């Protein structure tokens, strides 16, 4: 959970999505109109620092 007060992480099974690093900028705006997952990664090492999910991005 990510709130203004801080974060709370729960244990989870590792998930790797291939494809390498994404683009620095997007050609199209990112539209969050359905559930999605995200990862915060170290730009230089590729280490996954945090993984989260958004279940209801419009509510």
Question: Which of 20, 13, 25, 21 minimizes the C-alpha distance to 53?
Answer: 13
- pLDDT 10s digits, 1-55: 667 676 666 655 455 555 566 556 668 887 888 999 999 999 899 999 999 999 9
* pTM beyond 0.85: no
* Two tokens, residue 56: 């209801």
The SS3 of residue 7 is strand
The SS3 of residue 5 is coil
* Two tokens, residue 43: 């730009």
Say if CB 7 and CB 51 are below 8 A apart. Answer: no
């Amino acid at each position: 959970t990510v709130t203004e007060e801080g974060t709370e992480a729960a244990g989870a099974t590792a998930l790797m999505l291939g494809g390498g690093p994404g683009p620095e900028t997007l050609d199209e705006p990112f539209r969050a109109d359905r559930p999605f997952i995200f990862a915060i990664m170290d730009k230089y090492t590729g280490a996954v620092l945090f993984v989260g999910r958004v279940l209801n991005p419009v509510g």
